[in-house]
A and B are shown apart, each in its own frame.
Chain A
Amino acid sequence: MIPLNTDEGFSGPVVTTQAPTLDWWLLAPFLVVFGAGVLAVLFEAFVPAARRRGLQIAVAFLALLTTFVLFVLQAGSLPEEGATLVAGVLAVDRVVLFFQGTVAVLALISLVLITERRDGRDAFAAQAATVPGSEQERAHIMAGSQHTEVYPLVLFAVLGMFMFPAANDFLTMFIALEVMSLPLYLLCGLARRRRLFSQEAAVKYFLLGAFSSAFFLFGIAMVYGYAGSVNFAEVRAAVENGGAPAFDGGNGEPLMLMGVGLVAIGLLFKVGAVPFHNWKPDVYQGAPTPITALMASCTLVAAFGALLRVFFVPFGGSLELWEPMLWTIAVLTMVVAAIVAVTQRDVKRLLAYSSVVHAGFILTAVVAASTDGLAGAMFYLAAYGFTTLGAFAVLTLVRTRDGGQELGDIERWAGLGRRHPGLAGALSLFLLAFTGIPLTSGFIGKFAVFEAAVAAGATPLVVVGVLSSAVTAFFYIRIIVVMFFRDSEEEGPTVVPAGMLTGGVITVGVAATLTLGVFPGPVLDTLLPSDEAGPEPAAVMVDEASLERTAP
């Protein structure tokens, strides 16, 4: 009990704090990943360099596997209405567990790409602190230095991704956002090849990311000013009561309007919606490809998990404030990104714009604001995550003639389909899934989100979405045409052998894309809530200030 000094006009009540009861079982996944991250940092300090790599990989895989198993077990034992943890700062329900479980699987697969080595070297700089092309850099390369710090950084980023969709108040969400982003900024700058590009990507991502999180934070301050609390359920209750008691039931609305807008900017930046998408192509192109794969899959899933939670729980009662805004942004995203993508020549940039367009499609499900939309978005994100991981795995294999750098220029991919039909076939399948061709997971995902949007009366949005799909089909199919139907030139690409790791990732991507496309039933059935839940998405999400489980 800590009584505060109430001298001099501090009008509030004497605040007393009680130690919260901790639900160790539900906290376990967070603690496992955090513990593994801390342990990995200690390994960096105390384990000899020669033995570090194997140890780091083992710890990272073990931690992520354990958390995935924990999420599955929790999903089986969690009460229907969910639970909150640590005095209501985190919430766990089936929606949250789905996002976390998806992130865990996708992070495991990305980790496979991150550990992949070619000629005994992985995708990361020998020593990022050295100047590219300098004597020191050569010395470090000759000495076989490597950045095993990559693994703890990935673990911390994944911890942030687990917390982001589970946050039950805005402060926790802000902390989760930073825990997720800060390691990613660093990871972007660690590429082994084309280090100038990589460093530039890191600076751009960092400055724009910090800029957007400042907007997010100012938005939180405005919401706090309006509601007198940052807890999601209390914000929602305050909206119903016309603001905090200090406002006397009125004149606080401008604060809430600003709050909703600024918080939305922060979240829309993370998912990369137009006009907050400018970082995506640069960062995707400059970052080491395995890290791009991690960002394109896990970050997008976690960010959408958080975005859905914010718009459906604390802002769930202020639909009229955010629906017109998200409507506009969804249209802009689908139209602008699809058109700009047509002009791209670099495959990584093209996939970045494709990711922006997909964010637009998923936003149509957010605008629907229904349980069907929520389920559609969840399916879409999982399906897209596997497909995009597979696509980036293919990109790591296609190199320039000397086998060194990855070859991004689409025009120079001519003849790939004739010489490496398996690889080109896999990439074609991924691209067709991005387009949304039937029998791929992309079709089912698109159908689910568009169906939810039509049911919610957002038909114009769906018309724009379908037209935008048609435009995107043009550039996906252009890649397929170049690979299969154009004669190879002198400067054709070299394909390095896939090996077990990258080959495994591509196989998993193909399998998930086909399975979710041909037999989506079981997954969709588990995602769609029972009819009693009603159309209100908050019905399937924890929307209580505190819902601690009694002694487990």
Chain B
Amino acid sequence: MDPMNYIVLAALLFTIGAVGVLVRRNAIIVFMCVELMLNACNLAFVAFARMHGDIEGQVIAFFVMVVAAAEVVVGLAIIMQIFRTRRSASLDDANLLKN
């Protein structure tokens, strides 16, 4: 097993997530893409931990999961609030703030 394969997979997942954030217009989907990016980071951490024979990377992955869970709570609260107001989660509709 070459850990580099997993690093490449992590980079791919991260890129898919990043592209998703940039091209999708639904706030929930964008948010899911961010979560995909965080999980790609987790994969990279765990693969590197294996490569270095070190436990630290696996511990970091747990911390990231907790942070991601907290982020979901805050994020969904904010998206719900704007959805109830506008009856839409589209980011293109939210365009009041400009000069």
Contacts and interface: CB of A to CB of B under 8 A. Distances in A.
Interface residues of A, number: 55
Contact of A224 (B56, B63, B67, B86): B56
A224 B45 contact: yes
Contact of A186 (B10, B78, B86): B78
Given A196-B96, A206-B74, A228-B48, 7 more contacts: A12-B54, A197-B96, A203-B94, A206-B75, A207-B34, A214-B38, A281-B97
17 contacts: A174-B63, A178-B71, A186-B77, A189-B78, A200-B97, A203-B27, A204-B94, A204-B97, A211-B18, A211-B37, A214-B37, A218-B44, A220-B41, A221-B41, A221-B44, A224-B56, A229-B54
Interface string A177-219: 0100010011001000001110111111011001100110110
A128 interface: yes
B78 A202 contact: yes
Given A214-B34, A224-B56, A282 B97 contact: yes
Given A131-B85, A221-B41, A175 B67 contact: yes
Contacts of B98: 282
Contacts of B71: 178, 182, 210
Interface of B: 7, 10, 14, 17-18, 21, 27, 30-31, 34, 37-38, 40-41, 44-45, 48, 50-57, 59-60, 63-64, 67, 70-71, 74-75, 77-79, 81-82, 84-86, 91, 94-99
Nearest to B38: A214
B51 to A, nearest CB: 5
A89 to B, nearest CB: 11
Contacts of B82: 199-200, 202-203
A368 B15 CA distance: 33
Given A210-B75, A218-B37, A286 B81 contact: no
A245 B52 CA distance: 8
A263 to B, nearest CB: 12
Main secondary structure of the interface of A (DSSP, over half): helix
Interface stretch (A342-350, A446-454, A533-541): A342-350
B17 A206 contact: no
Most buried by A among B7, B45, B52: B52
A200 B94 contact: yes
Nearest to A15: B55
Given A186-B74, A224-B57, A228-B54, A211 B85 contact: no
Nearest to A130: B84
B96 A210 contact: no
A185 B74 contact: yes
B41 A211 contact: no
Contact of B21 (A207, A221, A281): A207
Instruction: Give 7 nearest A-B pairs by CB, closest first.
Output: A12-B53, A214-B37, A221-B44, A225-B48, A282-B97, A228-B52, A217-B41
A218 B40 contact: yes
